[in-house]
């Protein structure tokens, strides 16, 4: 059941006994001084039983513990040790000097509780609410949005290891005694800890092993079909076979697919990891953190963690909604070009905010791009660089199946056009396909030339500093497997960052250092 901090305090309070030893102006000192303004035990009461069990370690203490572990990037075992022997930690936790410390498993249980009750998001929201309460945000809120790679905690595996690991998971989930001896004998070479002892350097031998593995996977999937306890593991195995293996049409034998499947699973130990890209040439495996920050205070308003190969723009509107839930009405959001597409702009507009991001320049492999034409999406007309006008609009569908139009120029005009070689690739007339958001994008292209918008776009790099700070707080690499726990890690790092900003901006009432000098 819920435990509470003793409001009377204690004679063994380390801030009274050893306050002069606590590192001045450190995160520990700030947490000791201001932590009670941010979190109380009752804020997290819903995570505990009201009447059953022994009183827990007060949640406000555990929250501080999680923040300290996030700040110092410690393992649970090290966090437990520091909570027992480290005066900085004891002061920040508000534990008596003779407190035996918090057990390592208690940290892990608290993380599970946090994830279950979405308490990590609530904790970040409390830092934002504190800034709102203290009137730190300007009347017109300009937010900045960006994303950053988070390397996954799972081991990246090749097809053979992925298949072997997935087979093992299905056998474990279905339990061996529920599978036939004949099948288990076939699977034996894949359920051991070591790889099958074959000549892995020989392509023919590898090919035969792949066929054997795929056959074993097929038999196993047939055997566990309809068994709920093995459903999840069986789906993972099926997905790995489907993404990495195809049948060679010449031999009828399985072979590894060429290229990389979209949304490819890269790890058995963290199946949510994906191939991501830092840039066109730099790849990584893991997840992607998305961050929204208020520009003038540099306070983080929202955090999310998505797939490593996910689209950044999809997270802009949900992040604004996070800020709104904490009481911040975002007016404008500045992002880089990846947030400049029509779908992202529309989603952001639906939250009541405006997306400020450059529209990706139009390319047409050397021929006149669409932006060289004067397009009127309302009248369904276009004027080409040679002055020809077309209103010949044909219905079309975009990549999402939405209705749009293709404008076709006059065949004869294009055939006799003096600049045809710079405009049309094939034999027919020039065509222009309208974007579903053509008018919205045209407006954005016009806006981005205005000095006021250019000035706002120049403020975007401020968020890169924040991303660097989060990475310094451990958000560069996931400590835990799975996207949700990685999100917890990034959210805790964001809370640590926000605490520093709130303190620097004078948001806490307890400005005087309460620690004994
Ligand atoms: S080829 Fe056709 S569309 Fe292109 S500039 Fe010439 S007339 Fe215009």
If you measure from the C-alpha of residue 413 to the centroid of ligand 1, how many angstroms do you get, rounded to a whole number? 7
If you measure from the C-alpha of residue 390 to the centroid of ligand 1, how many angstroms do you get, rounded to a whole number? 10
What's the rounded Cα separation, in Å, for the pair 502 and 46? 26
> Which among 278, 56, 261, 58 is positioned nearest to 151, based on CA atoms?
278
C-beta of 247 in contact with ligand 1 (< 6 A): no
> Which among 406, 385, 332, 364 is positioned nearest to 143, based on CA atoms?
332
- pLDDT of 38 higher than 90: no
Q: Ligand 1 pocket test: pick from 372, 423, 426, 431 the residue with the most ligand atoms within 8 Å of its Cβ.
A: 423
pLDDT (mean) for 8-17: 61
The end-to-end CA distance of the chain, in Å, is 37
> Residue 46 CA to chain centroid, in angstroms?
26
What per-residue confidence (pLDDT) applies to 383? 97
Confidence of residue 57 (pLDDT cuts 50, 70, 90): confident
**pLDDT tens by residue, 212-252:** 999 999 999 999 998 899 999 999 999 999 999 999 988 88
What per-residue confidence (pLDDT) applies to 55? 62
167, 244, 273 from 230: Cα distances, Å: 11, 21, 21
> Which among 93, 28, 69 is positioned nearest to 500, based on CA atoms?
28
Q: What atom of ligand 1 comes closest to residue 387's alpha carbon?
A: 8
If you measure from the C-alpha of residue 395 to the centroid of ligand 1, how many angstroms do you get, rounded to a whole number? 21
> 32-41, 147-156, 328-337, 393-402: which range is least confident on average?
32-41
Q: Ligand 1 pocket test: pick from 430, 431, 433 the residue with the most ligand atoms within 8 Å of its Cβ.
A: 430
- pLDDT of 49 higher than 90: no
Give the whole-number percent of the chain exceeding pLDDT 90.
73
What's the rounded Cα separation, in Å, for the pair 359 and 372? 15
- Residue of minimum CA distance from atom 2 in ligand 1: 414
> 140-154, 157-171, 498-512: which range is least confident on average?
498-512
C-beta of 442 in contact with ligand 1 (< 6 A): no
> Which among 360, 385, 384, 335 is positioned nearest to 435, based on CA atoms?
360
Strands 330-334, 354-356: parallel, antiparallel or unpaired by DSSP? parallel
> Which among 474, 403, 141 is positioned nearest to 295, based on CA atoms?
141
- pLDDT of 12 higher than 60: no
What per-residue confidence (pLDDT) applies to 166? 95
C-beta of 362 in contact with ligand 1 (< 6 A): no
- Residue of minimum CA distance from atom 4 in ligand 1: 423
Q: Ligand 1 pocket test: pick from 383, 385, 409 the residue with the most ligand atoms within 8 Å of its Cβ.
A: 409
C-beta of 91 in contact with ligand 1 (< 6 A): no
Q: What atom of ligand 1 comes closest to residue 418's alpha carbon?
A: 6
pLDDT (mean) for 129-147: 96
C-beta of 388 in contact with ligand 1 (< 6 A): yes
What per-residue confidence (pLDDT) applies to 6? 61
Strands 141-151, 330-334: parallel, antiparallel or unpaired by DSSP? parallel
- pLDDT of 516 higher than 50: no
Q: Is 236 helix (H, G, I), strand (E, B) or coil?
A: helix
If you measure from the C-alpha of residue 411 to the centroid of ligand 1, how many angstroms do you get, rounded to a whole number? 9
> 4-13, 26-35, 310-319, 418-427: which range is least confident on average?
4-13
If you measure from the C-alpha of residue 394 to the centroid of ligand 1, how many angstroms do you get, rounded to a whole number? 18
SS (H, E, C) 3-43: CCCCCCCCCCCHHHHCHHHCCCCCHHHHHHHHHHHHCCHHH
- Residue of minimum CA distance from atom 5 in ligand 1: 386
User: Count of CB atoms within 10 A of residue 33's CB?
Assistant: 21
- pLDDT of 115 higher than 50: yes
Give the whole-number percent of the chain exceeding pLDDT 70.
93
C-beta of 415 in contact with ligand 1 (< 6 A): no
- pLDDT of 514 higher than 50: no
What per-residue confidence (pLDDT) applies to 15? 64
Q: Ligand 1 pocket test: pick from 373, 375, 413, 432 the residue with the most ligand atoms within 8 Å of its Cβ.
A: 413
Confidence of residue 50 (pLDDT cuts 50, 70, 90): low
Which region, left, alpha or beta, applies to residue 298 given φ > 0 means left and ψ of -120 to 50 means alpha?
A: left
What per-residue confidence (pLDDT) applies to 4? 62
- pLDDT of 450 higher than 80: yes
- pLDDT of 513 higher than 80: no
Strands 274-277, 283-294: parallel, antiparallel or unpaired by DSSP? antiparallel
- pLDDT of 11 higher than 70: no
Mean pLDDT of the residues in the chain:
91
What's the rounded Cα separation, in Å, for the pair 295 and 335? 12
- Residue of minimum CA distance from atom 7 in ligand 1: 414
What's the rounded Cα separation, in Å, for the pair 507 and 162? 50
What per-residue confidence (pLDDT) applies to 9? 60
| Paired residues of 433 in beta bridges | 406
**pLDDT tens by residue, 281-305:** 889 999 999 999 999 999 999 999 9
What's the rounded Cα separation, in Å, for the pair 464 and 476? 13
Q: 381-403: b or e for each residue (b if 16 or more CB lie within 10 Å)?
A: ebebebebebebbeeeeeeeeee
C-beta of 386 in contact with ligand 1 (< 6 A): yes
If you measure from the C-alpha of residue 483 to the centroid of ligand 1, how many angstroms do you get, rounded to a whole number? 50
If you measure from the C-alpha of residue 343 to the centroid of ligand 1, how many angstroms do you get, rounded to a whole number? 30
pLDDT (mean) for 346-372: 94
What's the rounded Cα separation, in Å, for the pair 214 and 218? 6
- pLDDT of 515 higher than 60: no
If you measure from the C-alpha of residue 383 to the centroid of ligand 1, how many angstroms do you get, rounded to a whole number? 9
What per-residue confidence (pLDDT) applies to 10? 59
**pLDDT tens by residue, 308-343:** 999 999 999 999 999 999 999 999 999 999 999 999
């Amino acid at each position: 059941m819920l435990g509470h901090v003793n409001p009377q305090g204690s004679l063994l309070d380390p801030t009274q006994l050893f306050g002069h030893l606590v590192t001045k102006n450190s995160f520990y000192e700030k947490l000791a001084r201001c932590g009670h303004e941010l979190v109380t035990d009752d804020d997290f009461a819903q995570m505990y039983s009201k009447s059953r069990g022994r009183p827990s370690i007060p949640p406000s203490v555990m929250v501080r513990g999680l923040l300290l572990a996030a700040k110092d990037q410690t393992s649970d075992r090290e966090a437990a040790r520091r909570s027992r022997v480290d005066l900085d930690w004891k002061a920040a936790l508000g534990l008596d000097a003779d407190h035996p410390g918090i057990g390592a498993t208690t940290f892990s249980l608290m993380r599970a509780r946090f994830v279950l009750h979405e308490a990590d998001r609530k904790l970040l929201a409390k830092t934002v609410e504190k800034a709102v309460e203290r009137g730190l945000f300007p009347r017109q809120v300009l937010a900045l949005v960006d994303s950053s790679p988070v390397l996954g905690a799972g081991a990246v595996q090749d097809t053979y290891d992925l298949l072997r690991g997935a087979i093992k998971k299905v056998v474990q989930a279905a339990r061996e005694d529920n599978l036939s001896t004949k099948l288990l004998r076939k699977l034996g070479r894949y359920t051991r800890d070591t790889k099958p002892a074959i000549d892995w350097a020989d392509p023919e031998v590898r090919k035969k092993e792949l066929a054997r593995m795929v056959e074993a996977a097929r038999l196993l999937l047939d055997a566990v079909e309809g068994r709920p306890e093995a459903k999840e593991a069986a789906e993972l195995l099926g997905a790995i076979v489907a993404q990495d293996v195809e049948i060679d049409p010449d031999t009828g034998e399985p072979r590894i697919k060429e290229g990389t499947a979209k949304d490819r699973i890269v790890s058995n130990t963290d199946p949510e990891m994906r191939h991501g890209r830092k840039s066109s040439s730099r790849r990584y495996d893991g997840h992607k953190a998305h961050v929204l920050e208020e520009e003038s205070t540099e306070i983080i308003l929202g955090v999310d963690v998505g797939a490593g190969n996910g689209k950044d723009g999809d997270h802009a509107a949900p992040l604004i909604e996070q800020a709104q839930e904490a009481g911040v009405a975002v007016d404008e959001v500045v992002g880089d070009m990846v947030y400049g597409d029509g779908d992202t702009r529309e989603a952001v507009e639906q939250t009541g905010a405006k997306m400020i991001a450059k529209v990706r320049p139009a390319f047409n492999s050397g021929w006149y791009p669409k932006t060289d034409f004067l397009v009127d999406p309302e009248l369904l007309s276009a004027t080409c660089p040679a002055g020809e006008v077309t209103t010949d609009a044909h219905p079309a569908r975009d990549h999402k199946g939405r209705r749009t139009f293709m404008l076709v120029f006059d065949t004869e005009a294009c055939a006799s056009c003096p600049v045809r070689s710079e405009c049309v690739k094939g034999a027919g007339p020039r065509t222009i396909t309208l974007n579903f958001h053509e008018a919205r994008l045209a407006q954005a292209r016009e806006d981005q030339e205005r000095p006021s918008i250019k000035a706002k776009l120049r403020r975007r790099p401020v968020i890169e500093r924040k991303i660097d700070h989060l990475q310094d707080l451990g958000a560069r690499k996931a400590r835990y497997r799975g996207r949700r726990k990685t999100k917890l890690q990034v959210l805790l790092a964001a809370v640590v960052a926000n605490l520093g900003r709130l303190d620097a901006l004078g948001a806490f009432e307890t400005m005087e250092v309460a620690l004994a000098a």
